Amino acid sequence: MYRGYTPFCIEECRREQIELDEARERETRYRHRRHRHHRAASLGYPASSSSAMAAKAVIAT
C-alpha cells in the first residue's frame, strides 16, 4: 500500500495519488526555499547559502 491504509481501486488511482503527493511536496519545498530566501535577504545575509549564514554565526562566537 502507498502511504497509509487507504486502498486504491486500481493501479491508475494509486499512480495518480502518488503524482499528486509528489507535486505537493515539490510545492512545499519551493515555498520553504522562497521563504528562506526572503528572510535571509531581509536580514542582510546572502540568500543562496544557508551554510554561509551558519559559518558567519560560528565566526561571530
Is the separation of the CB atoms in 32 and 38 below 8 Å? no
The 10s digit of each residue's pLDDT in 1-57 is: 556 667 888 889 989 989 999 999 999 999 888 877 767 677 666 555 555 555 555
The C-alpha cell that represents 40 in the structure block: 535571509
Is the separation of the CB atoms in 50 and 44 below 8 Å? no
pTM: 0.48
The dihedral region occupied by 3, where left means phi > 0, alpha psi between -120 and 50, and beta the remainder, is left
